[in-house]
Amino acid sequence: MSLELDAIEAAFLAACRAELDVVKPGNVHRFSPGHGMEAATFEAAAAAAAPFIAQPGAGVGARILGATRASWASVGVNANLGIVLLAAPLAAAAETASGPGTDALREALRQALATLTPDDARDAFAAIALASPGGLGEVPEHDVRQPPAIGLVAAMRLASERDLVARQYADGFAEIFDIGLPALMEAEAVPAAPGLGPALAAYLAFASRFPDSHVARKYGDRCAESLRRRMAGFARDVRGITEPAEALSTALAFDAELKREKLNPGTSADLTVASLFARFLAEA
């Protein structure tokens, strides 16, 4: 495998665009803005971050910090911290994977996570503090605004019970490889109309299975669990619709409903981008 900068950057941009191309209820996409942002916000953030995500030989933390600074400078909001945190280890793994395919990428990722350095923790903490998303820094003894006293994986493990992005560092991206990728591959076998398709299938696989971390941070665990149940019901309903136009209309109606309630399953969207990125890297 051993992918070079151009291939990794192209895979990252393709993943970010593919996620925007489907109606993800509650989240921003090409069919509807939301939460003070629009698809162009995320496209600009992705374009700014891509060279740092794909920077040859860079450490995981350096990729995270460089991409976060560039994204923030480009759009002035925290548009993609979760995406960047997930994409940086995958990009580093793609540079060293022994061959194509998900197994080789997963093994290289395991090694990349196992060899993170104190510098990676320092840079990642600085990026999280810059973006100020809440979550990881709420552990009093390991606030991201202070110099890290523990490694990045250890810090993520402390946050893993309440944050699905952090959990990926703690469990070797198990949800990406065991939930996101199978959902993508299953959906790829079925023709899909514009606005629907594999990226939506991955999004729903996450949003219907896990209370969304972003929603939980903003509104509490009870709200996040209630939304999870609603997402599971929607996923069942939309799978039973055979007419593409009706399925799209149903998705757009649920999307508008969630946005009126200011509910944004942003972590589910981050995990979707990471799943797409892993898929594209494995195929490159």
Q: Which residues contact 268 (CB under 8 A, 6 or more apart)?
A: 24, 27, 203, 206, 207, 210, 212, 231
Q: Which residues contact 261 (CB under 8 A, 6 or more apart)?
A: none
- Per-residue pLDDT averaged across 153-172, rounded? 94
- Per-residue pLDDT averaged across 215-219, rounded? 94
Three-class SS state of 29: strand
Tell the CATH superfamily of the 5-283 domain: Triphosphoribosyl-dephospho-CoA protein (1.10.4200.10)
- Per-residue pLDDT averaged across 141-157, rounded? 74
pLDDT of residue 190: 85
Domain limits, the chain: 5-283
pLDDT of residue 233: 98
- Per-residue pLDDT averaged across 153-170, rounded? 93
Cα Rg of the chain (Å, integer): 18
* Average pLDDT, rounded, for the chain: 93
C-alpha–C-alpha distance, residues 152 and 226, integer Å: 31
- Per-residue pLDDT averaged across 97-113, rounded? 96
Alpha carbon of 212 to those of 102, 105, 159, 225, 242: distances in Å? 26, 26, 14, 8, 28
Count CB atoms within 10 A of the CB of residue 278: 27
pLDDT of residue 145: 57
Alpha carbon of 244 to those of 30, 196, 237: distances in Å? 17, 8, 13
pLDDT of residue 146: 63
pLDDT per residue over 90-99, tens digit each?
999 999 999 8
Tokens of 76: 């002035």
pLDDT at 137 over 80: no
Confidence of residue 4 (pLDDT cuts 50, 70, 90): confident
Tokens of 268: 């589910």
Torsional sign, CA 64, 6, 176, 245: positive
pLDDT at 50 over 70: yes
pLDDT per residue over 74-91, tens digit each?
999 999 999 999 999 999
pLDDT of residue 3: 75
C-alpha–C-alpha distance, residues 130 and 277, integer Å: 24
pLDDT of residue 135: 46
Residue with tokens 């903490």: 125
- Per-residue pLDDT averaged across 126-137, rounded? 72
Residue with tokens 């991206």: 173
- Per-residue pLDDT averaged across 119-138, rounded? 79
Share of the chain above pLDDT 70, in %: 94
pLDDT at 72 over 60: yes
pLDDT of residue 284: 87
pLDDT of residue 168: 98
Confidence of residue 25 (pLDDT cuts 50, 70, 90): very high
- The 3-state DSSP composition of the chain as helix, strand, coil percent (nearest 5) reads 70, 0, 30
pLDDT per residue over 192-208, tens digit each?
889 999 999 999 999 99
pLDDT of residue 147: 66
